[in-house]
A and B are shown apart, each in its own frame.
Chain A
Amino acid sequence: MPFSLWKRILIWGICLLAVIYALPNAFYPRVERHNDAIARIEKTGETPELAADRALWPNWAPSKIVNLGLDLRGGAHLLAEVQVADVYKARMNSLWPELRKGLTAERATVGGVRRVPAPDGELRVQIEKPDGLAKAMEVAQGLTSPVISLTGVGQRDYKIEGDGNTLSMTMSDAERAATDDRTIQQSLEIIRRRVDEVGTREPTIQREGTNRILIQVPGIGSAAELKGLIGTTAKLTFQPVVKRTSDGTELAGAGNVLLPSLEEPGVFYVLEDTPVVTGEDLVDARPEFDQSGQPSVGFRFDPSGARRFGDYTAENVGQLFAIVLDGKVISAPRINSAIPGGSGIITGHFTVESSTNLAVLLRAGALPAGMTFLEERTIGPELGQDSIDAGKLAATVGYVAVALFMIASYGFFGTLAVVALALNIAMIFAVLSLIGATLTLPGIAGIVLTMGMAVDANVLIYERIREELRRGNGPARAIEIGYEKAMSAITDSNMTALISTAILFFLGAGPVKGFAVTLTIGVITSVFSAVLVTRLLVTTWFAWRRPKTIVV
């Protein structure tokens, strides 16, 4: 008897746990509603319907189930690249007033100061007196500070160079890296808030590589819808209007900017570049209807925004000011009187849907940078259901066929292998559920493939036992040698299988990763079930019946 009592208890215990934890998956829709209901009750409080849903599955029972991938549930998948360089320009724009202030204080040495065009991420100024360059650089140096990051130790945030009468400040590599990282973090946070606002189940929003974001939202109808929600930067500004024009090539002049109108083609506005207030000053935005019953978006400023907005409108009664969203003028109303209360309404040619969307976007905040979409996939829920059905059928037929084959080939011992195989599948589902892995269609294929390959260990063992019996060994001895001698081959073949599945995992995007995960788990659990479980079954049977001869 190769198993001590505690070993036997341990093996049976693991099998029992596997079955218990795999079981909720057999009642997938029920358990899912139960879990959803619990989550909703925690968030919004209990209602009779939610309580009824919760009662669908006992609270004491394990309720972890595998996540279904997008290809099985339906939904949208987007891979977005954040245009991190967008942020550099804004950084330089906000640095310029500081530098100007510093240099103006040293006017006696450096003379007049003028900003000249430069690539994004560089601030270039010309000073009147080239002799004052050293002083100017000193001033600029005073504006820099050390970068605090793991890789950029000792670097400062801006690099300062001087040449003749030109001074340039550029972001250092460490500062760029730190800025990029912040940009991505902010984008992630804002996308998460926007997706949560529309309240679909468990979206996946994660960073991929250095500047990419992967967004997967189950149950959403199309990628276009999702893109509408997260692809908009939603940078809202209120800017003073210099004039209205129909000439799109007009030079805006220093400190001004020319922007097109969103609604009226051919109309452009020259605006002051510095906004009075921005979307960051908002505390709330919601869809509303204006006096004429048109959909619109109501908003409220925070106290400092309200004060600035109130002061500005008080000083500029009769002037136009523009509401600008992502570089387009939504509307440019005239200021009829001071607006002190800090709340207002944006009217435009909105539909109910677009005003609701804009309100969501404004509440969640603006993205720090634009995004381009590199990959998008939408899978309809019906196709997902078809795939689940097909996968289930194929797995069932596969299991039965492999079982018949094993029993026909090895009789009673084949039956034991089939029992172990069933336990193996339970173990795969239990592990998938416990680690919260995602099951995809290739993942189902991985499970079916595991069924075929898991019996390999049993085949190796049984063939070996047959050989030992032919050599004239007694049944007990043959079984023992069979298991022991087959282990070398079993170890080697499973190790090499693990090597290739590990590489699959690192290669894998989405569905392929799901395949790698189930195959890896399947390889590991199959060693347990095909070697330990069958051996325990065989030895228990042997100790019980004490047969004089065995036929494998």
Chain B
Amino acid sequence: MAWRLKLVPEKTNWDFFQWQTLTFGISVFAVVASIVITLVMGLNFGIDFKGGTTIRTESGQPIDLGAYRTALEGLKMGDVSITEVFDPSFGPDKHVAMVRIQEQAGQQALAPEDVQRVQTALQTVAPDVKFAAVETVGPKVSGELIRSAVLSVLAATVAICIYVWLRFEWQFSIGAVASLVHDVVVTIGIFALFQIKFDLTTIAALLTILGYSINDTVVVFDRLRENLMKYKTMPLRDVMNLSVNETLSRTLMTSLSTLIALGSLLIFGGDVIRSFVFAIFIGILLGTYSSIYVAKNVVLYLGVKRDWSKPGADKGGPKGTRFATGP
């Protein structure tokens, strides 16, 4: 037998319900804590949702945040925040900062003169400062973006819920949605806790997480359905354990290969998309956990119809589209 990398032993028979009160408790706690943290600390909305301007500055000299701040205070532009950006790909003489300026009263977009004023002010501190990117979003657009972001996450959840309901049973659908809500809410909570910039790309990340997490869950459900038909008398709890054990290797393999690809992006992909990649990374960790510990627990609580071969019910056997048939 040739050597193979094995994430889990060939045949596992772990009882995933052994600590179900504990794991489920942790999940519920994490969701509640995330909601509380998000409500108390608030999210660090980017300009997509809050309006305003961000300027990415580049300079050959080390950045003195205090001096930058003092230089910009004189402009009376209201709330101005400056953060330094670090990335391994920057050479020793590349220093990047993000300047964020609040919406200016009565303007949809920052006037070109204002951008010029900011540049002039910063040049007194760092003469070689350059603006690598300037982005302004007016209040009208940011309001609409928030609405469409919330709508799209809800729409995706509902659409997935309907799909799972059509393909499986309503109990599965509830279980899937519970795990999706868990993943999305906890990811948002982590963004609130660490005050990571939350913008349109974060929403894109959340939608990706939805897609990924359901992917994991569905694979477990698919096996569960198959085993329910096979072992008609085995207690539901045991069938579930068997299904999770059987798919465990695949679940971990896929998560790991995705995390490997994402890890490469996280390290080498540059700072521009780091928060986006970070959100997906976290979401996939959560998605893996929730498909093992959340989705099926909910189905267990709800109970499920056992006889899938009954007329009118699922015809039995995997329903996947057959791309090819043997002779």
Contacts and interface: CB of A to CB of B under 8 A. Distances in A.
B253 interface: yes
* Interface of B: prevailing SS: helix
A449 interface: yes
A451 interface: yes
A260 to B, nearest CB: 19
A210 interface: no
Interface string A485-515: 1111111111111011101101111011001
Among the interface residues B132, B280, B327, which one has the most CB atoms of the partner chain A within 10 A?
B132
A394 B4 contact: no
- The size bracket of the interface on B is 35 or more
Contacts of B1: 551
A376 B89 contact: no
B212 A497 contact: yes
A374 B141 contact: yes
A495 B176 CA distance: 15
Nearest to A497: B211
B197 to A, nearest CB: 15
B13 interface: no
A374 B109 contact: yes
A387 B253 CA distance: 29
Interface residues of A, number: 92
A488 B218 CA distance: 10
B261 A398 contact: yes
Contact of B4 (A378, A395, A409, A503): A409
Contacts of A451: 261
A507 B134 contact: no
A263 interface: no
A463 B134 contact: no
Interface string A403-440: 00110111100000000000000000000000000000
B89 A386 contact: yes
B222 interface: yes
A442 B261 contact: no
A240 interface: no
Contacts of A81: 108, 140
Contact of A408 (B5, B156, B221, B320): B5
Contacts of A486: 320
Contacts of B259: 452
A383 B56 contact: yes
A71 B7 CA distance: 39
A496 B163 contact: yes
B211 A501 contact: yes
Contacts of B301: none
12 contacts: A373-B108, A378-B135, A389-B89, A402-B261, A449-B261, A449-B262, A459-B257, A467-B246, A487-B321, A491-B321, A507-B148, A512-B203
Given A487-B320, A501-B207, 5 more contacts: A224-B112, A375-B137, A375-B138, A377-B136, A442-B276
A-B pairs with lowest CB-CB distance, top 6: A487-B320, A488-B318, A224-B112, A452-B261, A390-B270, A500-B211
